[in-house]
Structure formats: C-alpha cells, structure tokens
C-alpha cells in the first residue's frame, strides 16, 4: 500500500551544514499490516513518518501510496505524535472532530462515530471535558481517536506512548491493538521500546544509527490477539534478542 523506494533525506542545518538523516531506505507496508520501526535516537525514524505523511519531501527516491507519489498530506494517512497536541480551548468531542471539520469532511454521522470511538477507548462521559481535565494517558487516547476518526488506511504513530508511565503504556498498547484489529488499517509505529515493538508488530524494522538505513526486518510470528503473557515465549525472546543484537551490537562495534 505504501512503498518507500530508495529514500534518502539530507537536511540543511541553520549553519548550512548537511545532515544526512536517511540513506537508501526501501520498505513496503501492506494493507492492514502493523510495522514497527526501532533504532537509535536520530536515525531518521520520525523523518520516515513525516515523508509518509507528505510533510517533507525526500532528497532522493520516492514515497508511493498505491503507486502514486506522496507530495502533500493525504486523506489516506493520519498521524499521532508523542505529545497529544490537543486544542486546549476545545472539548474532547471537538478535538476529535477537528481535522475532519478543517478538511470539510464532516458528515451527518461524524459526531455519532466520534462518540462511539471515544466510548471504545474508555472515554465515554468525557466528551465535554477540556484537555486539561484529563490525565496524560486519556489525552493521548483522544489523540488516537482523532486520528482513527479520519478512517485512515495508514496510521502513522511517532512514539505515541513515549510520554506515558509504564502501566498506562501497557494498557494503551493493548487498547491500540483492539482498535487496530477492528479496522485493519496499516500502521507504521515508531518506538524506542523493543518489547513494545515485538508485542505490537507483524514486522519490526531495525534501523542503523544516522544516516538511517534498514539493517534488518524481523518477522514476529506470535498469534493474535496479543497479550503480555506472550513476553515469556520463545518467539518473543528470539525477536527481541535479534533486534537488541543489531542495536547494541552496532553501538558496541562503534565504541571499539
């Protein structure tokens, strides 16, 4: 569905120096597939998502959705960031419907769908609350509902649980899997957590330190629905070890 073809991306810093963020990245995410991306800080993970969202152009190569080049944001994709980025003056319902209002895509059943989605995410009764009246985890759930209401074919998630405490993070992971299973959209999910990547994904893409290249793609053969009980399984351990070996093995080699 989305294909990165030989992507390279070089930024020019304010001092004029070139920063090569990505080098020759090729990757495909299929319809309904959950793909996680892990790698050292600064290896270009967010840049890859921003390319998919049409927020930045590549320096070389192409990002294609259904074979056509992504040059601007598209209705097929929605993005969730590490911070919930809610409008502080708008209540939960208006926050969730805001992008569709902005895009002129409100339909007669949009509010009803938003309420249902909020209920599924455990936020029934909070529709009229302002963001500051919610916990961090609840705010992030609102941000996820806001993205899902757009009914994207591809959901782009940039460390969406990074700012949450460990317990909320686990709860949100399972919640996300439930919502994803009900919709079967493609997901491209950036995380720093190897266990989170293995728990969630069909495939985990491992990137090298900058300039980011793909060093491995690990297929996770765990049954679905997933649960934390699977963390002790041989398959979970195998995947986690393989990813860890790449990340820490490369770091150790560079230090030597």
Ligand X SMILES: Nc1ncnc2c1ncn2[C@@H]1O[C@H](COP(=O)(O)OP(=O)(O)OP(=O)(O)O)[C@@H](O)[C@H]1O
Question: Which residues contact ligand X (rule: CB under 6 A)?
Answer: 11, 13, 19, 21, 39, 41-47, 210
- Nearer residue to ligand X within complex by CB, 32 or 54: 54
Q: What distances in angstroms separate CA 28 from CA 91, 153, 187, 254, one per listed residue?
A: 37, 14, 11, 29
Taking the complex as a whole, the smallest distance from the CB of residue 75 to ligand X amounts, in Å, to 24
- Nearer residue to ligand X within complex by CB, 40 or 220: 40
- Nearer residue to ligand X within complex by CB, 46 or 150: 46
Taking the complex as a whole, the smallest distance from the CB of residue 167 to ligand X amounts, in Å, to 23
Taking the complex as a whole, the smallest distance from the CB of residue 7 to ligand X amounts, in Å, to 12
Taking the complex as a whole, the smallest distance from the CB of residue 54 to ligand X amounts, in Å, to 15
- Nearer residue to ligand X within complex by CB, 21 or 149: 21
Taking the complex as a whole, the smallest distance from the CB of residue 91 to ligand X amounts, in Å, to 30
Q: Are strands 203-207 and 34-39 parallel, antiparallel or unpaired?
A: parallel
Given a contact cutoff of 8 angstroms between Cβ atoms, the answer to whether 80 and 160 are in contact is: yes
Taking the complex as a whole, the smallest distance from the CB of residue 117 to ligand X amounts, in Å, to 28
- Nearer residue to ligand X within complex by CB, 19 or 182: 19
């Amino acid at each position: 569905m989305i294909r990165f073809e030989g992507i390279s991306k070089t930024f020019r810093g304010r001092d004029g120096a070139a920063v090569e963020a990505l080098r020759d990245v090729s990757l495909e995410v299929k319809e309904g597939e959950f793909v996680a991306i892990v790698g050292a800080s600064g290896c270009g993970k967010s840049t890859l998502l921003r390319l998919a969202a049409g927020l930045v152009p590549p320096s070389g190569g192409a990002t294609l959705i259904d074979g056509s080049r992504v040059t601007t944001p598209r209705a097929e994709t929605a993005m969730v960031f590490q911070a919930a980025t809610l409008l502080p003056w708008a209540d939960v319902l208006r926050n969730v419907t805001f992008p569709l209002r902005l895009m002129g895509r409100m339909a007669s059943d949009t509010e009803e769908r938003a309420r249902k989605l909020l209920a599924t995410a455990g936020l029934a009764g909070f529709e009229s609350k302002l963001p500051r009246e919610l916990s961090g985890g609840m705010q992030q759930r609102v941000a996820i509902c806001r993205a899902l209401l757009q009914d994207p074919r591809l959901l782009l998630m940039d460390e969406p649980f990074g700012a949450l405490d460990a317990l909320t993070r686990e709860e949100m992971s399972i919640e996300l899997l439930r919502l994803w299973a009900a919709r079967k959209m493609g997901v491209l999910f950036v995380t720093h957590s190897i266990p989170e990547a293995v728990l969630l994904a069909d495939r985990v893409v491992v990137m090298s330190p900058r300039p980011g290249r793909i060093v491995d793609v690990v297929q996770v053969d765990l049954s679905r629905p997933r649960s934390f009980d699977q963390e002790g399984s041989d398959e979970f351990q195998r995947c986690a070890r393989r990813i860890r070996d790449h990340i820490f093995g490369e770091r150790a080699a560079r230090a030597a």
